[in-house]
Amino acid sequence: MKLSFIFAHPDDESLSAGGTIAKYASSGHQVSTLCLSSDKVRKNEYFNAVKVLGIQNFEIYDFDDVLTHENEIKEKLIQYILRTKPEVIITHLEDDYHIDHRSTYKIVREGVEWAAHETQNENPHLVSKLYTSETTVLIPNPHTLVDISKYYSKKEEAIKCYKSQLYKGGEDFYIRFHKYRTLMRGTQASTQYAEAYLQIPLKRNSPFYKQKHSEL
């Protein structure tokens, strides 16, 4: 399976889905990560974190934020989807507290839509599944709980790569928050640690899609 994890800032991938990324990357799936903005310090921390998570295919853009570069980023993202052809995309929550995260959700939704249009692209690509994930906002009723018990240590190691961010929310905030969040999700999932996802339904009836039918 080809999975692409697309987030706003360096560290969002590790905080939101680090265990899932490490799990799928080590289980023979083709996993890639894309980060839509960065600065010099966080870019280097991102390189270290994705290495810890076992990712070979990663990209990071040099935009200083997502919101004020939405159109440029959307164009790049459409090309990214057409080039990498992910079956599954994981991104931020639609109603996340952070404006760049909400902007990322919007760009990804629109990018997925435009990449599928045969009127726009010679070789359109229709993503099969879109999931949103928890960064620091919790999903009330998750659709999927991924067991990351064997990969929790990788997730924490990746979070610790972000030395410039670790103490932003107060001492140990990130480590404690994500430890107890994944333990809580693990409890719900009858395992030790888990990460939660919400599936976003994608329409299939566009007259501009090459493939308009699918199985249940």
Say how far apart CA 193 and CA 191 lie, in whole Å: 6
Q: Which is nearer to Zn ion, 12 or 113 (CB)?
A: 12
Is 159 a binding residue for Zn ion by CB under 5 A? The answer is no
Q: Decide whether 139 or 202 has the Cβ nearer to Zn ion.
A: 139
Instruction: Give least dist CB 167 to Zn ion, A.
Output: 16
Measured from the CB atom, the residue of 4 and 14 that comes closer to Zn ion is 14
Q: Which residue is nearest to Zn ion (CB)?
A: 9
Shortest Cβ 36–Zn ion spacing (Å): 10
| Residue number, 12 or 156, with CB nearest to Zn ion | 12
Asked if 67 is part of the footprint of Zn ion (rule: CB under 5 A), the reply reads no
The least CB distance from residue 206 to Zn ion, in Å, is: 31
How far apart are alpha carbons 148 and 24 in whole angstroms? 10
Q: Please name the residues in contact with 143: beta carbons below 8 A apart, sequence gap of 6 or more.
A: 131, 197, 198, 199
CB of 66 or CB of 115, closer to Zn ion: 66
Q: Reduce the DSSP state of residue 174 to 3 states and report it.
A: helix
Do the bridges between strand 30-35 and strand 57-60 make them parallel or antiparallel, or are there none, so unpaired?
Answer: parallel
Q: Taking contact as CB under 5 A, which single stretch among the options 5-13, 40-48, 73-81, 106-114 is the one that binds Zn ion?
A: 5-13
Q: Check binding of 8 to Zn ion (CB under 5 A).
A: yes
Distance CA(11)–CA(92), nearest Å, equals 12
Asked if residue 96 binds Zn ion (CB under 5 A), the reply is no
Instruction: Return the range that interacts with Zn ion (CB under 5 A); candidates 9-17, 35-43, 117-125, 153-161.
Output: 9-17
Residues 6+ apart with CB under 8 A from 75: none
Give the orientation angle of helix 99-115 with respect to helix 70-84, to 10 degrees: 50
Q: How far apart, in whole angstroms, are the C-alpha atoms of residue 20 and residue 149? A: 10
Residues that bind Zn ion (CB under 5 A): 8-9, 12
